[in-house]
Amino acid sequence: MIVTQGTDLSAGRQVGLAAVITATLMQSMENMNRVFPNLSEIPIPVVILAVCAVGAVIGLLNGFVIAYLNVTPFIATMGTMIIVYGINSLYYDAVGGSPIAGFSDSFSSFAQGFFRFGDFKLSYITIYAVIATLIMWTLWNKTRFGKNIFAIGGNSEAARVSGVNVPLNLMGIYMLSGVFYAFGGMLEAGRIGSATNNLGFMYEMDAIAACVVGGVSFAGGVGTIIGVVTGVIIFTVINYGLTYIGVNPYWQYIIKGGIIVLAVSIDSLKYAKKK
């Protein structure tokens, strides 16, 4: 979204909703505290489709409000963030209001499993991330949709005049993002081993920071998938590094916020010089 001069503040809450939905559907049959005790075991692909459909609908709503009602992305997605959190909290309270855990072995393996090569372990989540990166790289660089998104970010009016359906493409990018948030939320629930309605809090800030560190410009039309991946790696190293050396979590928020402000400031100065 940043490439289109937009943003999505609802990302973290969408992750949380997908995680809670997944958690209620993927509990082990032997779990005495199952949310739905009469529900038979659901195949993982079915749950993937279900949560991704929810994410797509939320993304579609974001895209429609932004593209057709001309609401700024910041305001539109902030509203969606609050709505999604409210829905998630209502659902979470309805199913017990306590951490949802005790997943099936198949789902735990799906999220926490790995391939072993001697002493080296390659996690399934890493493989999923590589696949997602390849999909997005292809979409961004080899399809008309990707070119349209960059054109919209560079100059939406010029893109419209050249024949690009700006509203439709914007809806498409927000819907695609919703699908990725949902799948990410599903994996996060499995990785942690439980889910609550507060899972995903502030995740969007980490995502924005990783993007700007990776060279995506808020001015629009500038950014690469490789750059974003690099930003994610750098920011992940910073996160784990700060935790490893025992930095107070509150100071970590201050440091990460400072990184965002610094990166955006540098980007703004570069954009001003170009003008």
- Please give the pLDDT value at position 270: 72
Q: Write out the H or E segment, with its range, that includes residue 265.
A: helix 249-274
Residues 213 and 245 in one domain: yes
Asked whether the predicted pLDDT for residue 189 surpasses 90, the reply is yes
Q: Residue 252 sits in which domain range?
A: 202-275
Q: In 16-162, where do the E strands start and end? A: 100-101, 114-117, 120-123
Residues 103 and 186 in one domain: yes
**Distance between CA atoms of residues 17 and 23, nearest Å:** 10
Amino acid (one-letter) located at 142: K
Residues 78 and 157 in one domain: yes
Reported as a single tens digit per residue, the pLDDT across 16-60 is: 999 999 999 999 988 888 888 888 889 999 999 999 999 999 999
What pTM, to 2 d.p., does this model score?
A: 0.91
**Distance between CA atoms of residues 124 and 109, nearest Å:** 9
Residues 143 and 158 in one domain: yes
Residues 125 and 193 in one domain: yes
- Please give the pLDDT value at position 223: 79
Reported as a single tens digit per residue, the pLDDT across 223-244 is: 788 888 988 888 888 888 988 8
Given 201, 232, 247, the domain boundary residue is 201
- Please give the pLDDT value at position 274: 62
Count structural domains, the chain: 2
The residues, ordered by sequence, that sit 6+ positions from 88 with a Cβ below 8 Å of its Cβ are 13, 16, 17, 20, 197
Given 157, 179, 201, the domain boundary residue is 201
**Distance between CA atoms of residues 251 and 247, nearest Å:** 7
> If you average pLDDT over residues 162-178, what whole number do you get?
93
Residues 114 and 191 in one domain: yes
Given 173, 201, 229, the domain boundary residue is 201
